[in-house]
């Protein structure tokens, strides 16, 4: 009889949990980023509490203001400028002022004779077909990006609601986060050592993903955009944002943007600009990742690059922008869970000896 009651109660817990997840699913992104913000800024909140003991509400409020000043307002301004630049580029493409096909034709005409002979020998001489596909692909991409950006701008009410929920949740998690985490950890039906290990890994990977990926991406994108702007390359902000996004993907990185642009500059006669871009790409943009990521992340939270790449791409495919965090976190918890399981299996064998 007792077993039936326990089983029924377990089923009830699962059903209620699934129902709650279904209800809050529309605000999943706001909840996720609220949790992330509270984890990242918890050290700042703890320092404020040391300076003003027993002023939990004030410390959480000041930390929330810091989040708004350091993250929210810059992100909103950047999004507004990016939307304006996207609309401007698409308008110039529609009017014919910007013609990717013409750029490709200019690039083709400036190719060295030996390279043209090599391409002819490989059977890669149908430049007109490549030009047509390139023009159509770029136009379609810009049209899609502009449409999505405009749809985001039109759904301002939903954005405001999500932002409000994120900030509201962040405040209470900053104020009561330790108590909430302790209750959640105590409710998980695992060995205390296993629970502590998983929670520690979860927190470490959240901080590592944001600090070691997003912060580095922002810095690389900013440097790349500034270099493009100094060299007089059009739409420097758009290129900078694209480099920031691609820098989140190991083994791909910002080189997929600046290398083709540098090659184009060299081939079309802008030799000094191309050389400067290559030097900046190799010794400034490229080294940011190697220098800053180990400092920001540390060794304990590092995962193999191929795991980060696969989990990030998979997360983006399944969950969109939220997958940038959820993908690597899921991969880290997967590795940690199997590591804990393997160690627990070895313990009984090691004890008799």
Q: Note whether 195 and 172 are same-domain residues.
A: no
What is residue 306's predicted lDDT score, i.e. its pLDDT?
Answer: 77
What is residue 29's predicted lDDT score, i.e. its pLDDT?
Answer: 86
The torsion defined by the Cα of 206, 212, 213 and 216, in degrees rounded to 10, comes to 150
In a domain, 169, yes or no: yes
Output the six-digit token pair for 323.
């997958």
Q: Which residues contact 156 (CB under 8 A, 6 or more apart)?
A: none
Q: Note whether 286 and 309 are same-domain residues.
A: yes
Q: Note whether 49 and 122 are same-domain residues.
A: yes
* pLDDT tens readout for residues 234-248: 888 888 888 888 887
In a domain, 14, yes or no: no
* pLDDT tens readout for residues 17-50: 899 889 888 888 889 889 888 888 998 999 999 9
Q: Note whether 220 and 312 are same-domain residues.
A: yes
Q: Note whether 231 and 106 are same-domain residues.
A: no
Q: Note whether 108 and 247 are same-domain residues.
A: no
How many domains would you assign to the chain? 2
Q: Note whether 94 and 157 are same-domain residues.
A: yes
pLDDT under 50: residue ranges of the chain: 123-124, 127, 154, 350-351, 353
In a domain, 10, yes or no: no
In a domain, 323, yes or no: yes
Domain boundary among 140, 171, 187: 187
In a domain, 347, yes or no: no
What is residue 64's predicted lDDT score, i.e. its pLDDT?
Answer: 93
Q: Note whether 181 and 192 are same-domain residues.
A: no
Phi, psi dihedral angles at 252 (to 5 degrees): -115, -70
| Rounded CA separation 217/314 (Å) | 19
In a domain, 350, yes or no: no
Q: Note whether 181 and 208 are same-domain residues.
A: no
Q: Note whether 86 and 42 are same-domain residues.
A: yes
77: domain range?
Answer: 25-187
Q: Are 308 and 328 in contact (CB under 8 A)?
A: yes
In a domain, 20, yes or no: no
What is residue 124's predicted lDDT score, i.e. its pLDDT?
Answer: 45
In a domain, 194, yes or no: yes
Domain boundary among 137, 162, 187: 187
Q: Note whether 141 and 32 are same-domain residues.
A: yes
Q: Note whether 156 and 267 are same-domain residues.
A: no
Domain boundary among 187, 216, 245: 187
């Amino acid at each position: 009889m007792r077993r039936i009651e326990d089983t029924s109660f377990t089923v009830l817990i699962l059903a209620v949990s699934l129902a709650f997840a279904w209800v809050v699913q529309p605000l999943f992104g706001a909840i996720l980023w609220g949790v992330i913000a509270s984890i990242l800024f918890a050290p700042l909140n703890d320092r404020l509490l040391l300076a003003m003991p027993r002023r939990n509400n004030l410390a959480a409020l000041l930390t929330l203001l810091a989040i708004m000043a350091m993250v929210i307002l810059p992100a909103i301004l950047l999004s507004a400028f990016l939307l304006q630049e996207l609309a401007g580029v698409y308008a110039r493409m529609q009017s014919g002022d910007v013609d990717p096909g013409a750029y490709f034709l200019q690039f083709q005409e400036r190719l060295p004779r030996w390279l043209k002979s090599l391409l002819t020998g490989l059977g890669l001489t149908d430049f007109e077909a490549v030009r047509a596909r390139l023009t159509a692909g770029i136009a379609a991409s810009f049209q899609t990006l502009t449409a999505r950006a405009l749809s985001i701008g039109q759904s301002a009410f939903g954005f405001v609601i999500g932002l409000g929920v994120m900030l509201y949740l962040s405040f209470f998690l900053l104020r009561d986060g330790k108590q909430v985490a302790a209750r959640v950890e105590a409710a998980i039906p695992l060995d205390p050592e296993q629970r502590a290990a998983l929670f520690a890994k979860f927190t470490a990977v959240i901080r590592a993903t944001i600090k070691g990926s997003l912060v580095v991406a922002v810095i690389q994108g900013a440097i790349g955009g500034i270099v493009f702007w100094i060299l007089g390359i059009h739409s420097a902000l758009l290129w900078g944002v694209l480099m920031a996004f691609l820098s989140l993907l190991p083994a791909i990185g910002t080189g997929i943007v600046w290398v083709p642009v540098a090659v184009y500059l060299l081939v079309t006669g802008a030799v000094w600009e191309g050389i400067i871009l290559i030097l900046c790409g190799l010794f400034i943009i490229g080294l940011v990742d190697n220098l800053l990521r180990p400092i920001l992340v540390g060794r304990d939270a590092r995962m193999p690059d191929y795991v980060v790449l696969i989990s990030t791409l998979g997360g983006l495919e399944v969950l969109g922008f939220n997958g940038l965090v959820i993908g690597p976190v899921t991969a880290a918890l997967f590795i940690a869970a199997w590591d804990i399981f393997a160690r627990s299996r070895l313990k009984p064998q090691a004890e008799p000896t």
